[in-house]
Amino acid sequence: MSFYPFFDGSGWSVEEKTAYPDLLEVLTRSKLERILDVGCGNGLFSRAMAARTGATIVGTDRCADALGQCSAHATDDVSFVDPSAVGSQEPFDAAVFSYVDCTQRSAEDRRSLLRSTLSCLRPGSIVAILNPNYPDVIGVDFKSFLAQWAEPGSDIYDGRAVSNRLTDSLGQTGIVQDFAWSSAGTCRLLEELGCRVTITRLTPACSGVSVRTGATVSVSAAYIVVGAIDPSS
Ligand SMILES: C[S@@+](CC[C@H](N)C(=O)[O-])C[C@H]1O[C@@H](n2cnc3c(N)ncnc32)[C@H](O)[C@@H]1O
């Protein structure tokens, strides 16, 4: 059994159908040495990245409570620092935003977070963004918003607030608010900031039994966009 409790290798759990395994696979293929995990939350996924990729992981989060929980996951290869200390770290060869970009409330917020993160990366690095793919989401009120307002294929929904129902690791269900950012808009943003988009991947919405909680849960469709920084820049 993998130490990472989301994936026990049986292939049946809802966690193994989500975008997390895909993101780990993309990162592992890139043969990375140092990954900055921006918005690392409780640090569990940081630890999974270290185990799967063999890279050194530095996680950071603007929420002091989240950083406090991370200490349980610190090892020789996984450390956690306050955002104010990221700039003084050795440069990274990847930055990961796992369900973080979707919490940014405005186009300017996401642009400034991405821009400041890019300044911590070496030339030739990659940036991986995992977001919910809201146009394909099940079980949220966003679908009715889209049906009423959006032109098919348009990005009119970019930046709209979305209420999503999630079951947390204690089995409690709550509502979280994300902001819908399309995969096409995310690719454009990366390109505007000087990255070449190398991978876009979609994960369908799914439902099933969680290995963490035993509850039957629905999980949003998601997308992963990876941008590469020019090696000569
Ligand atoms: C939905 S959680 C995702 C946690 C983790 N990456 C995961 O996949 O489980 C989003 C996290 O991003 C953090 N966050 C949001 N905006 C941030 C910012 N500008 N700088 C640092 N952390 C941020 C939040 O505090 C929160 O812990």
| 96-133 confidence digits (pLDDT tens) | 999 999 999 999 999 999 999 999 999 999 999 999 98
**What average pLDDT does the segment 175-195 reach?**
91
Residue 142, domain member (yes or no): no
Q: Is the CB of 222 under 6 A from ligand 1?
A: no
- Between 165-169, 186-190, 226-230, the lowest mean confidence (pLDDT) is in 165-169
Give the pLDDT of residue 233: 72
Average pLDDT, whole number, for the chain? 87
Residue 220 has a pLDDT of: 80
Average pLDDT over residues 190-208: 93
- Pick the more confident residue, 233 or 186: 186
Strand partners, 208: 217
> Percent of the chain beyond pLDDT 70?
85
Ligand 1, atom 20, residue with closest C-alpha: 62
pLDDT at 138: 53
Is there a domain that residue 114 lies in? yes
User: For a substitution probing ligand 1, which of 62, 70, 80 has the most ligand atoms within 8 Å of its CB?
Assistant: 62
Domain containing 91 — which CATH number? 3.40.50.150
Going by alpha carbons, the residue nearest to atom 24 of ligand 1 is: 39
Q: How do residues 32-56 score in pLDDT, each as one tens digit?
A: 999 999 999 989 899 999 999 999 9
For residue 150, being part of any structural domain is answered with no
- Its pTM stands at 0.92
106 neighbors 189 (Cβ within 8 angstroms): no
pLDDT at 168: 63
Residue 168 belongs to a domain: no
Q: How many structural domains are present in the chain?
A: 1
Q: What are the backbone angles phi and psi of residue 31, rounded to the nearest 5°? A: 50, 70
Q: Which residue has the tokens 């950071």?
A: 60
Which residue matches tokens 């819908």?
180
Residue 173 resides in a domain: no
Other residues' Cβ atoms within 10 Å of the Cβ of residue 186: 24
Q: Residue 83: CB within 6 Å of ligand 1?
A: yes
- Phi, then psi, of 97 in degrees rounded to 5: -120, 95
- At residue 1, does pLDDT exceed 50? no
Q: Which domain holds residue 35?
A: 14-133+182-206+221-229
Confirm whether 33 is domain-assigned.
yes
Helix, strand, coil abundance in the chain, percent, nearest 5: 35, 30, 35
Whether 50 is covered by a domain: the verdict is: yes
**What pLDDT was estimated at residue 14?**
84
Percent of the chain clearing pLDDT 90 (strictly above): 59
CA dist 143 and 135 (Å) reads: 7
* Cβ of 14 less than 6 Å from ligand 1: no
Question: How many CB atoms within 10 Å of residue 87?
Answer: 9
Better-scored residue on pLDDT, 135 or 97: 97
The yes-or-no verdict on residue 140 having pLDDT over 60 is no
27 domain residue, yes or no: yes
Q: From 47, 61, 113, 212, give the residue whose CB has the most ligand 1 atoms within 8 Å, as the site to mutate.
A: 61
Q: Which pLDDT value is given to residue 143?
A: 63
